[in-house]
Amino acid sequence: MQNRTKRPAVGAVLPHVPLRPVAFAVLASLADGSRPGIDVLEEVNTTMPGRPLLGPGTLYRLMRELRQTGLITRTGRGATRADGSRDERQAFHALTPLGVAVLRAEVARLRRTIELAGPALSTPER
């Protein structure tokens, strides 16, 4: 998908990083293709640690924010899921090139963070 358009400039990506955990979870749930809102909800609620956090309203506001900052977009109704199944009723959401870039940057940041924290974590306590 990112091959279709020009890769966003680093300057456009950086202001969005680091992502809030919920925003990260939403973007991650869309990483492998467009999905309807309900799937995003389920995915986030199952992948996020702890109790379910997202309801429809919170999710809507979050996705609206991500849409307004240009990280995701609506792809319209009746789109095909990544697994090939179609859903005629639901509105589908997908990452924009910027969203993909931001997700990548965030993943990279997290990875580096873990690498940096690795030795500390492996040190036995006391």
- For another protein, the binding residues (CB under 8 A) are 36-38, 41-42, 52, 54-61, 64, 89-91
Nearer to another protein (CB atom), residue 53 or residue 107:
53
**Is the CB of residue 30 less than 8 Å from the CB of residue 94?**
yes
Distance between alpha carbon 51 and the CA centroid of its chain, in Å?
19
Q: Which residue has the tokens 């890769």?
A: 7
**Is the CB of residue 34 less than 8 Å from the CB of residue 79?**
yes
Taking the complex as a whole, how short is the minimal distance between the CB of residue 6 and another protein, in angstroms? 30
Nearer to another protein (CB atom), residue 18 or residue 52:
52
Taking the complex as a whole, how short is the minimal distance between the CB of residue 22 and another protein, in angstroms? 12
Taking the complex as a whole, how short is the minimal distance between the CB of residue 119 and another protein, in angstroms? 39
Taking the complex as a whole, how short is the minimal distance between the CB of residue 60 and another protein, in angstroms? 5
Nearer to another protein (CB atom), residue 7 or residue 74:
74
Calculate the alpha carbon distances from 100 to 20, 75, 115 in Å.
Answer: 15, 15, 22
Question: What does the alpha-carbon distance between residue 8 and residue 99 come to, in Å, rounded to a whole number?
Answer: 9
